Structures are given as structure tokens and as C-alpha cells.
Amino acid sequence: MRACGHPFGTPKARMGSPHFLTKTMPRVSTEMALHVLAYNLTRVLTIMGSKAILKAIAS
């Protein structure tokens, strides 16, 4: 049995620490949102490649 699924385990592992740096729920939500954004941008870059991303941004 797994403790958490891929969507939560991978960004958590990439954080380098199992703990959040902030204390209150709104700040933790913001911190998690930034981790998810960074993870999603990395995946898009890996899948599409940098040239395709730059072309999409330019158009």
C-alpha cells in the first residue's frame, strides 16, 4: 500500500524536505502552489522541449 500518490509524492520529494517552511494554512497553500507550478513547468518543458515553449510564448 502506498502512503501517497504520484501527484503528491514527486513534488514533495523535489522539495528536499518533508516539511513546509511556513506555518499558517494560507502560507502553506501558497508554498504548495509554487511547488506544483514548478513541477508542472518542468514537465511541460520535458515533454514539449524548450524550442516549442519559446515558439508558443512568442505567438
Domain-embedded: residue 1:
no
Domain-embedded: residue 36:
yes
Domain-embedded: residue 46:
yes
Contact 36, 11 (CB under 8 A): yes
If DSSP states are collapsed to H, E and C, what string results for 20-44?
CCCCCHHHHHHHHHHHHHHHHHHHH
What does the alpha-carbon distance between residue 27 and residue 33 come to, in Å, rounded to a whole number?
A: 10
Answer yes or no: is pLDDT of 32 > 80.
yes
Domain-embedded: residue 56:
yes
Domain-embedded: residue 12:
no
pTM of the predicted model, to two decimals? Answer: 0.66
Reported as type and span, the H/E element at residue 50 is: helix 50-58
- pLDDT for 2-18, tens place per residue? 555 666 667 777 767 67
Domain-embedded: residue 6:
no
> What is the domain extent for residue 33?
23-59
Domain-embedded: residue 37:
yes
